[in-house]
Structure 1
Amino acid sequence: MSDQYNSRIERRKKQKKRAPKNTAPTPAAKKPKKKKSSLAKKIFLTFAALFLLCLAGGVGTFAMMVKDAPKLDEGLLRDPISSKIYDMNGDFVTSVGSEKRDYVKYEDVPQLVRDAILATEDARFFKHHGVDIIRIGGAAIKNVTNGFGSEGASTITQQVVKMSFLSPDKTLKRKAQEAWLAYQLDKEYSKEEIFEMYVNKVYMSDRIFGIKEAANHYFGKDLDELTLPEAALIAGMPQSPNNYNPFDHPDRAEKRRNVVLSLMEQHHKISNTEMAKAKQASLSSQLAEKKPDTGNAKKFNSYIDLVIEEVEKMGEYNPYSDGLKIYTTLDPKAQTYMEKLLDTEDIINYPSEQFQAGISLIDTQTGEVRAIGGGRNQKVERGFNYAVDLKQRQPGSVIKPLIDYGPAIEYLKWSTYQQLDDRPDTYSNGTPIRNAGGSYMGPLSMRTALVYSRNIPALQTYKKVGHEKANEFLNNVGIQIPKQQSENESNSIGAMSGISPLDLSGAYAAFGNGGTYNKPHTVKKIVLPDGDTEVRNDVKPKEAMSDYTAYMITDMLKDVVDEGTGRLANIPGLPLAGKTGTTNYTAKEKREWNIPSSGSPDSWFVGYTTNYTAAIWTGYESKKEYLSKDSQKISKELFKHLMEEVSSDEETKNFKKPNSVVELPIKKGSNPAEIAGAGTPGSEKVYELFVKGEEPKKVFNDFKEKDKEKDKDKEKEEETEGKIENLTASYNASSQSISVSWSFGGKGSPSFTVSSSTGESQSTGGSSAVFGNAQPGNSYSFTVTATVDGKTVDTASTSITVPSGEEPPVDEDQDNPTQPDDNNPDNPDSDDNNNGGDNGNGDSGGGNNGGGNNGGGNNGGGNNGGGNNGGGNNGGGNNGGGNNGGGNNGGGNNGGGNNGGGSNGGGNNGGGNSGTPTPPTTETPGSGGGTPTPPSGNGNTQQDTPATPPPSGNQKQGTDE
């Protein structure tokens, strides 16, 4: 140092001797030179001062950032920390941690594997001191040129620190602490020890920690048995283990492997020839068979699986090793009951051990997931979750409120009375679309179409809305249809895939929440290991639809549960709404797999109250196994039991009608809608909902004049004549006889003659007659003639079909359905088939309204309407004879002579243009009937509904006011 100093002094002395003395520069020359030197000096000093200030400030800031950095802890360096999970009440539920590890020492890691890891993660590992300044500079340049985040600069040492002590937050403070601790770690431990920590701590997906366990898990080999391409794959996984999992994402894994091979060649670890050969290796042929995860099954597995998945999506958090405290929305009581419901037969008798179900229960108001049923008897952790992962099955008719009728109200402002036409129709490409049972209801309201889940009106509505608006509505409630399916018209009846029970519960909850959508979520917040840092799962509510849309859909879906296809899910006293869905097999699948016509691959029910929303799927893992008619009921039974349980201890408020909705009495059959006037009887009006400002203006008052005419006719009739009323025929199985009974309204003392289609005739002064020797399977008709004072005053007829043997009543089409076009994507294998008339497009019905032997026996067999509609065995026993099929469906002249006596089927299908078909009653009315009936064979009623649906179709009936 002193030598250098002396040299500088001597050099300056020599420079002075060489400089001329007493020769001062001229003023002109001296001034500019002095000024230039002074300016340069000032600039230099300014920059120097700024640099020193920045350096001092940077050092001070760095010191502030690292002053509270955690201390090195060898225990944490060697072992990952488990995370704790808490329920909605803040009570501890379970912990998740690193159970799968097989420790490997540094000297036991083959050189090939070391080279692959170092070339990929830290090529200068043995040259730097924990932080690689050169790599940081290179990464900074690439981030500027290629975009932020394009290249990282963390060394293996820094990664060990991050995995052991710090959160994955990308903040300057965390990066400063990481660098400081990496430097400290590099001073305290050897490079070999740090490398050993890394290869044993690193997460390798599938709850695997460490490269030794990963080699066994993915390739079934020890480390020293790995080939070059296998070692490259292992080395490349830590960057994003779940994304590069070769079992789940083989294409991504192979691309990542090839990147590692290129890096190894770049850093001279392998030759170009070796790299090229290794890139050609087939990944699939190298992988071992994936082993089922049977170890360490956790409490509430299905729910915890969803929590872990959600935490991983919130950031670079690893619940298995980061020591997190995870606060969830879990309702332990609901989850416990759900698992009992699925895993035992204490509540429901399941058809087999293989029968599966997926259930999502969420809070209607917040979207918080209260319970998850991932499947029956789930023995594995992170296994297939039917509530979340079920994306390959079709939703069937549960999609109709979301893709057809919801958008129609939202964008077209349709009322619940909007008139549609349930008649033969086609998709735009000419392919026919059919309802279940192959029957039609003619003109009907949107309410009727939804309550009885008619396919043709759903397609008509979808066409009016358009696929862009339909998809927009779905997107608003968290559902996205795969792009390749997004324009298919068959989406209108649920012939798309990619929708899980969790998705549907979130979407339907928006209906129950006044149109506000909350994404379903399980995590409230995460507390990091430092105990102070909280990461909240900020789920923002979204206005998905107008409040009038939400309420009007809800009001119709309440009718689905009260009197439509979802009656099995009804809970008396609990205000709830819901929708059924059942899917079909194609004709090809039925032939190849020997599936009966009544079999179905999927049965759904989605329903909600103001407190809870539940979506339920039932079926089998393989589509080759089908749901029978009885097992198709289980989705509704599961919903009913679950909703009863969670609603038992709290008040459930009814859905509140917003000011944007107006309810009005409407004249039945009017099109366009007319307000029912004061004189309109209750039987001729329905109450429907309208968007405020879109109400009808015209008032129907014709009944005033008609009532006057009726009064005059009645007075005249009472003076001289009478009328036969309430004519019924019923079968007594024990005596094999048919009893015909009636009543008479009028003056005088009438006598009656009762004639049978067998030729037998009886006369009586009473109001009944009995005919014996009724043969099973045969149909009989009876005519009653009333005579007063020798004058015939009225005649009425009825008919009945005697049940065939002991065959149980059949309430819908089963056999010999019309098959769909297998090659037509718009003729789907979806929608409620034979099961409440939801989907059955193509596979159900056909012929002559259930033709052939649809429904067992002869439901309109061959001659629907001619002869005896409902004859043969359809409705045999109580489903037809005497009850359903006797009564309004097939009663009177329906099927006998006039096919729908009065206005039934004739005229305007159900009286005028009424869109209010009335399901069959329990008795067989006389020819004075004319009550409209639903489709033959219960084509629009769930197979699991009672044989005799409640009266009134599904329109809201008013009373005289």
Structure 2
Amino acid sequence: MRKIIKYSLIIFLSLFILAFLIGSGLFIHYATTAPKLDVSKLESKPSSIVYDKDGNIIADLGQEKREMVATNEIPLTLVDAITSIEDHRFFNHRGVDPVRIMGSVLHNAKSDTTQGGSTLTQQLIKLSYFSTNKSDQNVKRKAQEAWLSVQLERKASKEEILTFYINKVYMANGYYGMRTAAKAYYGKELKDLSLSQLALLAGMPQSPNGYNPYTNPEAAKTRRNTVLSSMLQYEKISKDDYDKAVAAPIDEGLQKLSPSITIPAYADNFLKQVIEQVKNDTGQDVTTGGLKVYTTLDTNAQKYLYDIVNSDEYVSYPDNDMQVASTVVDVSTGAVAAQIGARKQDPGTIFGNNQAVNTDRDWGSTMKPITDYAPAYEYGVYDSTGKYLSDNPYNYPGTDIPLYNWDHKYQGQITVRRAITQSRNVPAVKTLESVGLDNSAEFLNKLNIKYQTMGYPNGISSNTNESGREWGASSEKMASAYAAFASGGIYTKPYYVTKIIDDEGKETNLKPEKIRAMKETTAYMMTDMLKDVITQGTMTNGYIPGLIQAGKTGTSNYTDEQFEQVVAEYGMLDNLMAPDENFVGYTPHYSMAVWTGYKNKLNPLYGPKLAVSLDVYREMMTYLSQNVPNEDWVMPEGVYRNGSELTVSN
């Protein structure tokens, strides 16, 4: 028995030593691949400069909104609050704290809540060198953080490290650094804040938006009280101080926020997407500074679109509540040239709602060309624009649910061209049935329009029960999808940034690759028919004399239940009442999608309100087409004309 115990201990110790050696070797390997420590990186970065397509500055984001605090200006109470909640052994370790690590391991093993083992020094290194995304918090990254933390502790004093941290952390609402937050939130210097207010600031860096006292006051209060409890536990404050501080209202002393950055109102929605693209493509945050961001923005076009949407000089709007969202895409590059996501936003709004990229509204019949008819030509189901289709009473496939046209009438045998120009629903869904849902979904996927579960109603609608921008349609998605028609079948995912240059001079290209989404013949056949929508179809209000253009209108429908609610609220205002009215139009140079409606879907569009999307398009496309050639599309090989109709040879 003793031999068994003896051999077991030997085996256990051997395995332990082996694991230790392997772990040590792995740590050394990871440490040697860590970035070189540069103390200047711990300081706030210079501003991020955002440029338009011509190299002109749109906005200057960054350092000027971060007010630095000197070490001798930091109140001791703030130091006690930060170290109590984040790293109470801060003044006793040298960058990495084995006691803290073991404590967090034991805590996490016994509790449902997790506790980190990183020191303040490690947190500073993470903020300065690495991504803060949870997916990036792996063993390699932790080893590199630890190695750089140990080096930093040899080069900088504890006071300097704390100062770096206090000036570096994000404090929500676009503010960086605790002094900046103190002046923005309370209108005071750090030294003039109360214990309660300092505890709030000390607790925010762990989850700045989650503990934002303006938007999440209850969570902020809980976090503040946790900080105060830690200060009491480590004897940094008395019980009397604690009781008074936790009793203070969380909004005590908070003042109305001013915008954290200054950007032109006309570019607000566009810049929001710029920041998002850089974050998604590179993991970098434009608002933390240090980048030169080169965008696709056509400033003159953006200003003109903003004026069209926000003044009554160009378009007659029924009221200030009606909303407009629009995206303009440069056909040759696929770049977003201009975008407006809201009308009549509150002055001073920073990165407000951008309906231009949201997919929660229905694009109606603008879906027919890309969901039904283009796939029919792409997959050889149809070969002529003069093919006859049946516009007669019809049920959705596999159901006894009748499908009606917008006028509740039928036209019998009509050509594909007429079915499109008159926006008939029955021929559209019949076409989708012939194409097949799978083929249609495959075609749409190439245009970055997706449904988790696609059904026959999607033949005349973009309605989807899924949430999130990856599902359904938006003005951004629709402008780019129709741009593929305009460019002969080439699709480019919409983008806002061409390249970024970081503070070390490293350049990153962010232009997406172009793909062939459809045959050139398919694109030409569709464009030829969509030209007629303007001159003899449903979009004559968008007609621009002499301009070669094509497009499609789209009106959404209410469900029976919603329609009853609308009538009960407003009465029967018109024969046609809808929650959304859309238009997507294009020339060989630009593609533009426009959505109109109200935030409350039950506030209906009717009468002249249904013409606003076309009015916006007409005014903007007239402006865009002033200084570009008015040229027609060239018929590709494989297509021939017979009278007014086209046929494609397979």
Alignment TM class, shorter chain as reference: 0.7 to 0.9
Tell whether the 8 Å contact from 1:100 to 1:207 is kept in structure 2 after alignment: no
Judged with a 3 Å threshold, the aligned counterparts in structure 2 of structure 1 residues 174 and 96 are, in CA distance, closer, same or farther, namely farther
Q: 1:312 aligns with which of 279, 302, 312?
A: 279
- Aligned-residue RMSD, C-alpha: 4.6
Residue correspondence of structure 1 range 774-923 to structure 2 within 5 A: none
Asked if residue 447 in structure 1 is aligned to residue 447 in structure 2, the reply is: no
Q: Distance in 1 between matches of 2:412 and 2:570?
A: 34
Judged with a 3 Å threshold, the aligned counterparts in structure 2 of structure 1 residues 583 and 100 are, in CA distance, closer, same or farther, namely farther
Q: Distance in 2 between matches of 1:510 and 1:225?
A: 57
Q: Distance in 2 between matches of 1:80 and 1:400?
A: 49
Deviations 1:220-249 (A, max 9, x none): xx8954999x999845426xx6xx688999
For residue 363 of structure 2, what is the aligned residue in structure 1?
395
Q: 1:502 aligns with which of 467, 473, 476?
A: 476
Judged with a 3 Å threshold, the aligned counterparts in structure 2 of structure 1 residues 232 and 105 are, in CA distance, closer, same or farther, namely closer
Judged with a 3 Å threshold, the aligned counterparts in structure 2 of structure 1 residues 350 and 292 are, in CA distance, closer, same or farther, namely farther
For residue 692 of structure 1, what is the aligned residue in structure 2?
649
- Give the secondary-structure state (helix, strand or coil) at the position aligned to 2:567: helix
Q: 2:494 aligns with which of 483, 498, 520?
A: 520
The normalised TM-score by structure 2 is 0.74
Judged with a 3 Å threshold, the aligned counterparts in structure 2 of structure 1 residues 116 and 154 are, in CA distance, closer, same or farther, namely closer
Deviations 1:167-217 (A, max 9, x none): 999999999997786556424544354235324422255424356888999
Tell whether the 8 Å contact from 1:293 to 1:381 is kept in structure 2 after alignment: no
Q: Distance in 1 between matches of 2:118 and 2:524?
A: 54
Amino acid at match of 1:570: Y
Give the CA deviation at 1:384: 0.6
Q: Distance in 2 between matches of 1:88 and 1:473?
A: 31
Q: 2:592 aligns with which of 593, 609, 614?
A: 614
Q: Distance in 1 between matches of 2:588 and 2:103?
A: 57
Give the CA deviation at 1:626: 2.6
Amino acid at match of 1:454: R
For residue 532 of structure 2, what is the aligned residue in structure 1?
559
- Give the secondary-structure state (helix, strand or coil) at the position aligned to 2:635: coil
Amino acid at match of 1:557: L
For residue 617 of structure 2, what is the aligned residue in structure 1?
639
Tell whether the 8 Å contact from 2:334 to 2:495 is kept in structure 1 after alignment: yes
Q: 2:76 aligns with which of 99, 103, 107?
A: 107
Tell whether the 8 Å contact from 1:106 to 1:196 is kept in structure 2 after alignment: no
Judged with a 3 Å threshold, the aligned counterparts in structure 2 of structure 1 residues 100 and 349 are, in CA distance, closer, same or farther, namely farther
Judged with a 3 Å threshold, the aligned counterparts in structure 2 of structure 1 residues 657 and 461 are, in CA distance, closer, same or farther, namely same
Q: Distance in 2 between matches of 1:153 and 1:60?
A: 18
Give the CA deviation at 1:577: 1.0
Amino acid at match of 2:637: N
For residue 472 of structure 1, what is the aligned residue in structure 2?
442
Amino acid at match of 2:370: L
For residue 110 of structure 2, what is the aligned residue in structure 1?
none
Q: Distance in 1 between matches of 2:515 and 2:426?
A: 32
For residue 161 of structure 2, what is the aligned residue in structure 1?
194
Judged with a 3 Å threshold, the aligned counterparts in structure 2 of structure 1 residues 590 and 157 are, in CA distance, closer, same or farther, namely same
- Give the secondary-structure state (helix, strand or coil) at the position aligned to 1:630: helix
Give the CA deviation at 1:588: 2.2
Q: For CA contacts below 8 A with separation 6 or more, give which structure has more relative contact order.
A: 2
**More off after superposition, 126-135 vs 449-458:** 126-135
Residue correspondence of structure 1 range 204-223 to structure 2 within 5 A: 204-210=171-177
Deviations 1:34-58 (A, max 9, x none): xxxxxxxxxxxxxxxxx9xx99x98
For residue 510 of structure 2, what is the aligned residue in structure 1?
537
Q: 1:326 aligns with which of 282, 286, 293?
A: 293
Give the CA deviation at 1:419: 2.1
Amino acid at match of 1:89: D
Q: 1:92 aligns with which of 47, 50, 57?
A: 57
Judged with a 3 Å threshold, the aligned counterparts in structure 2 of structure 1 residues 495 and 184 are, in CA distance, closer, same or farther, namely closer
Tell whether the 8 Å contact from 1:435 to 1:456 is kept in structure 2 after alignment: yes
Tell whether the 8 Å contact from 1:518 to 1:541 is kept in structure 2 after alignment: yes
Q: 2:263 aligns with which of 298, 304, 325?
A: 298
Judged with a 3 Å threshold, the aligned counterparts in structure 2 of structure 1 residues 307 and 429 are, in CA distance, closer, same or farther, namely same
Q: Distance in 2 between matches of 1:613 and 1:192?
A: 57
Amino acid at match of 1:622: N
Give the CA deviation at 1:628: 3.1
Tell whether the 8 Å contact from 1:413 to 1:691 is kept in structure 2 after alignment: no
Tell whether the 8 Å contact from 1:407 to 1:469 is kept in structure 2 after alignment: yes
- Give the secondary-structure state (helix, strand or coil) at the position aligned to 1:109: helix
Amino acid at match of 2:503: P
For residue 550 of structure 2, what is the aligned residue in structure 1?
577
Q: Distance in 2 between matches of 1:77 and 1:446?
A: 64
Q: Distance in 2 between matches of 1:247 and 1:638?
A: 40
Q: Distance in 2 between matches of 1:199 and 1:494?
A: 52
Q: Distance in 2 between matches of 1:190 and 1:106?
A: 17
Q: Distance in 1 between matches of 2:257 and 2:435?
A: 46
Tell whether the 8 Å contact from 1:167 to 1:322 is kept in structure 2 after alignment: no
Tell whether the 8 Å contact from 1:82 to 1:319 is kept in structure 2 after alignment: no
Aligned length: 566
Tell whether the 8 Å contact from 2:588 to 2:632 is kept in structure 1 after alignment: yes
For residue 591 of structure 1, what is the aligned residue in structure 2?
567
- Give the secondary-structure state (helix, strand or coil) at the position aligned to 1:337: helix
Deviations 1:885-915 (A, max 9, x none): xxxxxxxxxxxxxxxxxxxxxxxxxxxxxxx
Give the CA deviation at 1:453: 0.3
Residue correspondence of structure 1 range 154-173 to structure 2 within 5 A: 156-161=120-125, 163=127
Give the CA deviation at 1:60: 13
Give the CA deviation at 1:605: 0.7
| Unpaired runs of at least 5, structure 2 | 1-21, 105-114, 187-192, 235-249, 465-471
Deviations 1:95-115 (A, max 9, x none): 122637797946333867644
For residue 404 of structure 1, what is the aligned residue in structure 2?
372
For residue 651 of structure 1, what is the aligned residue in structure 2?
629
Give the CA deviation at 1:391: 2.1
- Give the secondary-structure state (helix, strand or coil) at the position aligned to 1:376: coil
Residue correspondence of structure 1 range 14-25 to structure 2 within 5 A: none
For residue 549 of structure 1, what is the aligned residue in structure 2?
522
Q: 1:373 aligns with which of 334, 340, 352?
A: 340
For the pair shown, which has the larger CA radius of gyration, 1 or 2? 1
For residue 463 of structure 1, what is the aligned residue in structure 2?
433
Q: What is the percent sequence identity of the aligned residues? A: 34
Tell whether the 8 Å contact from 2:381 to 2:435 is kept in structure 1 after alignment: no
Judged with a 3 Å threshold, the aligned counterparts in structure 2 of structure 1 residues 246 and 553 are, in CA distance, closer, same or farther, namely farther
Q: 1:83 aligns with which of 48, 51, 74?
A: 48
- Give the secondary-structure state (helix, strand or coil) at the position aligned to 1:654: coil
- Give the secondary-structure state (helix, strand or coil) at the position aligned to 2:551: strand
Give the CA deviation at 1:502: 0.7
Asked if residue 422 in structure 1 is aligned to residue 386 in structure 2, the reply is: no
Give the CA deviation at 1:371: 0.8
Give the CA deviation at 1:441: 0.4
Q: Distance in 1 between matches of 2:278 and 2:339?
A: 16
Q: Distance in 2 between matches of 1:345 and 1:133?
A: 66
Q: Distance in 2 between matches of 1:491 and 1:199?
A: 53
Q: Distance in 2 between matches of 1:471 and 1:248?
A: 43
Q: Distance in 1 between matches of 2:180 and 2:589?
A: 46
Deviations 1:240-265 (A, max 9, x none): x6xx6889999xx99xx99xx9xx99
Tell whether the 8 Å contact from 1:110 to 1:223 is kept in structure 2 after alignment: no
Give the CA deviation at 1:592: 3.5
Q: Distance in 2 between matches of 1:538 and 1:627?
A: 38
The normalised TM-score by structure 1 is 0.52
Tell whether the 8 Å contact from 1:505 to 1:613 is kept in structure 2 after alignment: yes
